[in-house]
Amino acid sequence: MADATQAIPSSAEPPVRPLEIPRLELPRAYRTMVLARLFDDRCLALQRQGRIGFYVPMGGQEAAQVGCTWALDPADWLFPAYRELGAALVRGVPLTLLLDQFIGNSGDLLKGRQMPNHYGYPKYRIVTGSSPVGTQISHAVGAAMAAKKKGHAIVTVPFFGDGTTSSNDFHAGLNFAGVFQAPTIFFCQNNQWAISLPRSRQTRSETLADKAVAYGIQGVVVDGMDVHAVYRAVKAARDRALRGDGPTLIEAQVYRFGPHSSSDDPKRYRPEEDLAAWKARDPVTALQHELLEAGLLTAESDAALWDAARAEIASAIQEAEATAPVDPLSMFDDVLARPTPALEAQRAEFATWLGQGETRT
């Protein structure tokens, strides 16, 4: 796989210019990838221990997510699926806040009403994800059109996998975005497997980015294991969108190192030799070697970085697990702005049943 970006021809080619991650930002990007890798591994372990009910790992996709989000402006809105831990960490979402959602305790802003990994944080411009694949694509296009009409110089970025490119929402979203030139970057993480369905059995398109041609938008294939290549592609796509040249579909070719979710066993369908070949291109290890060779990292500082990340994760877990559960009576909140007498009566009855009295909390 070539490192260079491969562009699918369109009528509005972006200018070719160097778009690199600033040298002094690389160590911070690396630390974010390390934190994502360690936190991801630990969360899957927590699920296996019964401390989290469900988890969707993202190991192997660190460069794609970090490179993409690093190239954006903090004002840009993200529309994740359920595997975008790296993007959340770039945005600065605290580990404890993420764990609160995974556990579903009283610190969870969604009050335990969403599945683990389906979080949303308006403060960090992250829209709540959903399990049905592709729904976030149309939402992202609509938000982009609203921003465009209001004169806000931002883009929206829906994240999705290769399987989603076969969904109705993918085609409807891209068609609308192409017609109205929405400032949206469609970021497809092609991790080669739609759960257990291989990419080869899903579509006859030579690349997933080829699908952009049908809607008259820019399509780009990029090495998703290379944080620099992803950054360049997203930065160029953002520049195009803000110039008014329309949306871009980016296919970041990556590989999912672990299972689709904690309910999946990839050993039942995935050849071990394929996994080994992709792990030889581990994006975290690749950036580590680059920084060591450039003198931006030493063996000692690298070891200290990994130890600090482990300690940060351990502290966040301890804090999240010490947080009280969600109040069961909260199920009656956020239903109506002014609760009806019937709803109030139901709440009071449930409070009595819980032995908590009838006082609103």
Q: Are 201 and 162 in contact (CB under 8 A)?
A: no
Check whether 4 has a pLDDT greater than 60: no
pLDDT at 357: 57
Q: CA 227 → CA 153, 236, 283, 340, 361, distances in Å?
A: 25, 14, 7, 53, 47
Check whether 308 has a pLDDT greater than 70: yes
CATH of 6-326, one of 3.90.1580.10, 3.30.930.10, 3.40.50.970, 1.10.3720.10: 3.40.50.970
DSSP per position, 185-250: EEEEEE-SEETTEEGGGT---SSSGGGGGGGT-EEEEEETT-HHHHHHHHHHHHHHHHHT---EEE
Euclidean distance between CA atoms 355 and 71, whole angstroms: 52
pLDDT at 355: 87
Q: Does the active-site annotation cover 256?
A: yes
Please compute the mean of the pLDDT values over residues 259-275 and round it to a whole number: 95
Check whether 6 has a pLDDT greater than 60: no
> Could you tell me the strand order of the sheet in which 218-223 lies?
6-8, 218-223, 248-253, 185-190, 156-161, 77-79
pLDDT band, residue 356 (cuts 50/70/90): low
Active-site residue, selected from the candidate residues 91, 118, 228, 256: 256
Please compute the mean of the pLDDT values over residues 314-338 and round it to a whole number: 94
Q: Does the active-site annotation cover 124?
A: no
Q: CA 249 → CA 88, 148, 182, 184, 213, distances in Å?
A: 21, 19, 12, 9, 10
Active-site residue, selected from the candidate residues 37, 42, 260, 347: 260
For 167, half-sphere exposure in the C-beta direction (CA atoms, 13 angstrom radius) is 18
* Residue recorded with tokens 């729904």: 135
Q: Does the active-site annotation cover 260?
A: yes
145-177 per-position pLDDT tens digit: 999 999 999 999 999 999 999 999 999 999 999
107-133 per-position pLDDT tens digit: 999 999 999 999 999 999 999 998 899
Check whether 15 has a pLDDT greater than 60: no
pLDDT at 107: 97
Euclidean distance between CA atoms 247 and 263, whole angstroms: 35
Check whether 5 has a pLDDT greater than 80: no
Q: Is 132 exposed, middle or buried (0-12, 13-18, 19+ CB in 10 A)?
A: exposed
Strand 185-190 and strand 197-198: the pairing is unpaired
Q: Which of 11-20, 139-148, 171-180, 296-305 has the lowest mean pLDDT?
A: 11-20
Q: CA 180 → CA 14, 142, 145, 227, distances in Å?
A: 18, 10, 8, 30
Please compute the mean of the pLDDT values over residues 43-60 and round it to a whole number: 97
Q: Compute the mean pLDDT over every residue in the chain, rounded to the nearest whole number.
A: 93
Check whether 1 has a pLDDT greater than 50: no
Q: Are 233 and 7 in contact (CB under 8 A)?
A: no
Euclidean distance between CA atoms 75 and 16, whole angstroms: 25
Euclidean distance between CA atoms 190 and 193, whole angstroms: 8
Euclidean distance between CA atoms 198 and 180, whole angstroms: 33
**What are the extents of the domains in the chain?**
6-326, 327-361
Euclidean distance between CA atoms 20 and 33, whole angstroms: 17
53-88 per-position pLDDT tens digit: 999 999 999 999 999 999 999 999 999 999 999 999
DSSP per position, 243-289: HT---EEEEEE----S-SSTT--GGGTS-HHHHHHHHTT-HHHHHHH
Euclidean distance between CA atoms 91 and 75, whole angstroms: 10
Active-site residue, selected from the candidate residues 269, 281, 338, 347: 269
